[in-house]
Amino acid sequence: VSRRPIRSIALGTGPEFDLIRRFLDGAGALPPGVTVGPGDDCAVVEGAALAVSTDLSVEDVHFRRAWLAPEEIGYRAAAAALSDLAAVAARPVGVLVSLAAPAADAADYAVRVMDGVHEAAQAADAALIGGDVAASPHGLVLDVTVVGEAPQPVLRSGARPGDELWVSGALGGAAAAVHAWMAGAEPPPAARKAFARPRPRTREAQWLAARGVLHAMLDLSDGLAGDAGHLAAASGVRIILFPDAIPVHPAVPDVLGGTEGALRLALGGGEDYELCFTAPPGVVAPLAHEFETEFGTPLTRVGRVVEGAGLAIRSPDGATEPLDTAGFSHFRGEGP
């Protein structure tokens, strides 16, 4: 695949443009489809259908500087945005970053943040194609816009009664890290990594989409309980979760000192950026082993789709009871 060099457009003079030049230093080549890269008023991307999404990262709301290196702040912000492309099974192409930074950060710190953005973008075969910079009177704000090719986007509205509900990976790791930090402790490395270096499941989503098994999909940014609720609302169906099946991240009991509350953190903790999707009965299980071999992460069936509305949980005796997702909002509101 031919990739043309980035920075084909010369920038004018001034400190803002000197900073932008430094931001672009870490960028690789432009992916195919990008006909105008950074430096002009717009980037231009060719493709039959393009998916676009934006994701905000605000200091002391989404992250704290004391918790993360600047490269991790940038990586995480870009990974969270790229995860929205995974959620519709799009192929990532470009990333635009708007960065508001205090004047004191406008040299090395901001450049290190952008190095993290480049790392996340390149890991997804995307590149920085634009953005904006501004002074911030208080704290860092990153807004990452992602552009991907999505000729057949998988929406959250396609779930049908009878579908199975699946998730990739393990849940609650990022929330476990926040839980540890909020308690004044250093999180275990696996939990810290889940928070600081989430891996957007862009290839995994395209792999599943290519096999034609997906009815509906989203990425887990608000926690399984919240996001399954969004999927149910968008699809006009009811979702029943199987609590015993939920793949709890091993760092969760580590941080909590036991299994008590682990399920609540796995259900309510956000920002795992795993895939959550529905598929017709029986079609995913035969693919799960190959998926795990290919991507090093499991697929787990965690629920089913029925007629109705809202979210329910299957209790140990097999009965179902409504799940009040508001009960988990203190996790979402917990950190940082």
- Give the nearer residue to a copy of itself in terms of CB position, either 152 or 315: 152
Q: How far does Cα 277 stand from its chain's mean position?
A: 14
Asked whether the CA dihedral 272, 291, 155, 246 is positive or negative, the reply is negative
Taking the complex as a whole, the smallest distance from the CB of residue 289 to a copy of itself amounts, in Å, to 27
2 contact partners, CB below 8 Å, separation of at least 6: 32
200 contact partners, CB below 8 Å, separation of at least 6: 79, 80, 82, 83, 85, 86, 120, 124, 219, 273
| Nearest of 325, 194, 311 to residue 268 by alpha carbon | 325
Q: Does 47 bind a copy of itself (CB under 8 A)?
A: yes
Instruction: Tell me which stretch binds a copy of itself (CB under 8 A): 45-53, 104-112, 159-167, 185-193.
Output: 45-53
Positions 307 through 326 that interact with a copy of itself (CB under 8 A): 325-326
Positions 79 through 118 that interact with a copy of itself (CB under 8 A): 84-85, 87-88, 90, 94, 96-100
- For 2-22, b/e burial (b = at least 16 CB within 10 A) is eeeebeeeeeeeeeeeebbeb
Q: Does 13 bind a copy of itself (CB under 8 A)?
A: yes
Taking the complex as a whole, the smallest distance from the CB of residue 49 to a copy of itself amounts, in Å, to 5
Q: Where are the alpha helices (DSSP H) in 88-148?
A: 108-123
Positions 221 through 240 that interact with a copy of itself (CB under 8 A): 226, 229-230, 232-234, 236
Taking the complex as a whole, the smallest distance from the CB of residue 201 to a copy of itself amounts, in Å, to 12
Positions 18 through 37 that interact with a copy of itself (CB under 8 A): 35-36
Q: Does 168 bind a copy of itself (CB under 8 A)?
A: no
- Give the nearer residue to a copy of itself in terms of CB position, either 115 or 219: 219
What does the alpha-carbon distance between residue 330 and residue 336 come to, in Å, rounded to a whole number?
12
Instruction: Tell me which stretch binds a copy of itself (CB under 8 A): 12-20, 110-118, 184-192, 313-321.
Output: 12-20
Taking the complex as a whole, the smallest distance from the CB of residue 286 to a copy of itself amounts, in Å, to 27
**Sole binder of a copy of itself in the list 18, 25, 108, 132 (CB under 8 A):** 132
- For 232-258, b/e burial (b = at least 16 CB within 10 A) is beebebbbbbebeebbbbebbbbbbee
**Sole binder of a copy of itself in the list 137, 184, 286, 318 (CB under 8 A):** 137
